């Protein structure tokens, strides 16, 4: 006999939403990566300018391989800009770089959601490793609800991480847009274009949070209501 797990549709929905968000950010970035800023700045120059103005002269800028692999490493005070970003003069690249500088400014100002997200990384990694073995053990041992519930709780830490990530990323983007506008690094029209790139990128985090929620919901529907026989 074939058994159809109807809750699997939740995973499919999550995958579809993530795919749509990813495609949208790529198409938006591609569109505005062909538009160079009128002042001729490179993304690296903009990053250094914003960092210095924020009193973050100690933050180094390094290259990192990859496509849109840009990130700020708070443990080493290093801003890493990808191959597609660092020497680009496009409004898209400058928006991405300014966003990562926004994380450096968050770190400088002890932005609580950023600190909380960093603190959740070890727990999230551990939870992802231990959650399914616990659920599997619970099923093996005659649907031991204690083990199953523990597995679901550990898996839910990933959802918490995604939820905490939302304000961190939105705040970094808002800081970036404000700096680019207030310091007149980009023209008003270019700021609007950079904002569209960052808004598209933000959708990937929203999609990730929804996908995590749907995965937790699926586990609850499958195992949360079980009782020991």
228 has a pLDDT exceeding 70: no
Place of tokens 């597609």: 84
The helix (H) or strand (E) run that includes residue 168 is helix 145-182
Dist. CA 70–CA 192, nearest whole Å: 21
Its pTM stands at 0.89
- The number of residues making up the chain comes to 229
Q: What sign for the dihedral angle of Cα 79, 83, 87, 90?
A: negative
* Local structure of 138: helix, strand or coil: helix
Which pLDDT score is estimated for 143? Answer: 84
Q: Is 149 helix (H, G, I), strand (E, B) or coil?
A: helix
Which tens digits make up the pLDDT trace of 114-124? 999 999 999 99
If pLDDT is split at 50, 70 and 90, which confidence band does 229 have?
Answer: very low
25-58 pLDDT, tens digit per residue, is 999 999 999 999 999 999 999 999 999 999 999 9
- The three-state secondary structure class of 34 is coil
Residue (of 191, 171, 195) closest to 183 by Cα position: 191
Element housing 62 (H / E): strand 60-64
Contacts (Cβ under 8 Å, ≥6 apart) of 182: none
- Position 67 confidence tier, pLDDT thresholds 50, 70, 90: confident
pLDDT bracket for residue 225 (50, 70, 90)? low
Catalytic site residue from 45, 100, 169, 190: 100
> Is the model's pLDDT at 141 over the cut of 90?
no
- The pLDDT score that the predictor gives to residue 124 is 95
State the Cα–Cα distance between residues 12 and 196, nearest whole angstrom: 27
Contact 54, 105 (CB under 8 A): yes
Residue 129 has pLDDT above 60, yes or no: yes
Q: pLDDT band for position 68 (50/70/90)?
A: confident
Mean pLDDT over the full length of the chain:
93
Inter-residue contact 85 to 95 (CB < 8 Å): no
What single DSSP character describes residue 66? S
Q: What is the pLDDT of residues 146-184, one digit of tens each?
A: 999 999 999 999 999 999 999 999 999 999 999 999 999
pLDDT for position 4: 59
Whether 227 shows a pLDDT value over 60: the answer reads: no
Check if the beta carbon of residue 166 is closer than 8 Å to that of residue 206: yes
Q: Is 100 assigned a catalytic role?
A: yes
pLDDT of residue 1: 38
Which of the listed ranges 64-68, 94-98, 137-141 does the model predict with the highest average pLDDT? 94-98
User: pLDDT class for 5, splitting at 50, 70, 90?
Assistant: confident
Please compute the mean of the pLDDT values over residues 95-113 and round it to a whole number: 96
Residue 95 — pLDDT band, cuts 50, 70, 90?
very high
pLDDT at residue 2 is higher than 80: no
């Amino acid at each position: 006999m074939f058994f159809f797990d109807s809750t699997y549709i939740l995973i499919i929905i999550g995958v579809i939403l993530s795919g749509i968000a990813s495609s949208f950010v790529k198409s938006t970035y591609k569109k505005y990566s062909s538009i160079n800023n009128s002042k001729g700045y490179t993304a690296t120059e903009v990053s250094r300018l914003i960092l210095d103005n924020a009193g973050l002269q100690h933050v180094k800028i390094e290259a990192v391989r990859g496509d849109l692999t840009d990130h700020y490493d708070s443990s080493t005070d290093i801003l890493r800009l990808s191959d597609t970003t660092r020497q680009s003069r496009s409004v898209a690249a400058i928006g991405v770089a300014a966003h990562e500088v926004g994380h450096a400014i968050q770190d400088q100002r002890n932005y609580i959601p950023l600190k909380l997200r960093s603190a959740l990384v070890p727990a999230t990694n551990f939870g992802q490793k231990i959650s399914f073995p616990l659920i599997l053990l619970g099923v093996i041992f005659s649907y031991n609800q204690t083990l199953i519930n523990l597995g679901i709780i550990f898996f839910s830490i990933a959802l918490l991480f995604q939820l905490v990530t939302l304000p961190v990323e939105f705040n970094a983007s808002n800081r970036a847009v404000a700096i680019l506008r207030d310091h007149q690094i980009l023209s008003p029209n270019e700021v609007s274009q950079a904002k569209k790139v960052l808004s598209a990128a933000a959708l990937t985090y929203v999609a990730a949070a929804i996908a995590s929620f749907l995965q937790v919901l699926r586990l609850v529907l499958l195992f949360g209501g079980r009782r020991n026989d």
